[in-house]
Structure 1
Amino acid sequence: MPNFSIQIIQFEKKWAKSIPNLITTTRHIAAMTLEKIYGHKKTGMIGIVFVNDKKIHQLNYQFRGINKPTNVLAFEAMQDGMDLVMEKKELGEVILAYETTMREARAQNKSFEHHFSHLLVHGILHICGYDHMNDKDAKIMEKLEIKILKQMNIPNPY
């Protein structure tokens, strides 16, 4: 496994009630995703934050100008000269919203844990430089998501 520090902050308590062993599960998903991307070649830090719709709505508006909640936000860490001397590079933060994730899981007839897992993988891929702004990049990202989720026995989310 890659040597990443995974910082987890839970502001919304409903997450732990809906996902057994939330912290352990989150660390496992993050580690599997990072290993798939980097193998054993990289070290670094990521943050994963569990919030509610009110908080993610505020962040979505503040940083993206979109005045509504979303399921996941991913913020790549700022790159500066410090990265050249620091042993562990911060990749960024993934922020997940409970209510939107729950609504989407129900609407798509998916288990909450499977949908959460997909969103977490998706967010981590974003902070690692993957995107879906065009069809080619979207296909690359989706294929990688499917491959990572399959390792966790989670069906294709698409």
Structure 2
Amino acid sequence: MDALDIVFEAGAWSTDEFTPLAQGAVIATLRHMALEADACEITLLACDDARIAELNAEFRGKPTATNVLSWPAQPVAPPSEGQAPPAVERGFDDMFELGDIALSYETCAREAAESGKPFSDHLTHLIVHGVLHLLGYDHETDGDAALMEGLEVEILGNLGLDDPYSVDIIPTGVH
């Protein structure tokens, strides 16, 4: 996927492991959502707790670290609770400019350890989650959460990963 720009800013990220994992998660999500991955643009920031706390404070008014943040390029939202958002539109360059995602290494690693999941599985889930946010999916209401979580489970299942919601600890603060 040429249009995935990964920026390694801080944290203990391994570029050799993270890059193919991120590409695989993004491509699987876009394909599942019937989007051509090569026609989509996403920037992914790999950072640490300090940086994501700054971003969380600036954009959400919450000065704490979180696992993932996303900034959709297009303001799409479901027409009503539990329904899919409208399709994103192509830009002037015929590309789908989807937006940006930030991930914090420390929070992701801690959550994976606390839930007994492999770090790569948890990270894949959070990337899928972030891409769905860029496409207008959310979890603010029960109906929207059920739809989004169902998509996550399907996409992760297609990648051979377990249902992330079937364990006792569910990541919080996922946005």
Residue 143 of structure 1 is matched in structure 2 by 150
Equivalent position of 2:104 in the other structure: 97
Structure having the larger proportion of residues in helix: 1
Aligned to 1:21, the other structure's residue is in SS state helix
1:10 match: 8
Determine the C-alpha separation between the residues in 1 that align with 2:56 and 2:132.
19
Instruction: Mark the runs of 5 or more structure 2 residues left unpaired by the alignment.
Output: 76-89, 166-175
RMSD: 2.0
Note the residue ranges of structure 1 that are not aligned, 5 or more in a row.
none
What displacement does 1:52 show?
0.2
TM-score w.r.t. length of structure 1: 0.87
Task: Report the alpha carbon displacement of residue 106 of structure 1 after superposing the two structures with TM.
Answer: 1.1
1:87 to partner: Cα distance: 1.8
Matched, 1:33 2:29: yes
**Residues in 2 aligned to 1:5 and 1:41: alpha-carbon distance in whole angstroms:** 8
Amino acid at match of 1:11: E
Partner of residue 114, structure 1: 121
Q: Deviations over 1:63-121 (max 9, x none)?
A: 00001000000001156xxx652221311011100001111111111111111011110
Question: Equivalent residues in 2 for 1:83-94 (5 A)?
Answer: 84-94=91-101
Residues 128-147 of structure 1, C-alpha deviations (whole Å, 9 max, x = no match) = 11001100110000000001
Describe the SS at the equivalent of 1:92.
strand
Aligned AA for 1:94?
Answer: I
Aligned-partner Cα distance in 2 for 1:146–1:4: 26
Number of residue pairs aligned between Structure 1 and Structure 2: 151
Q: Identical aligned pairs, as a percentage?
A: 34
State whether residues 65 and 107 of structure 2, in contact with CA within 8 Å, keep that contact through their aligned partners in structure 1. yes
Displacement of 1:29: 1.1
- The structure whose residues are more often strand, as a share, is 1
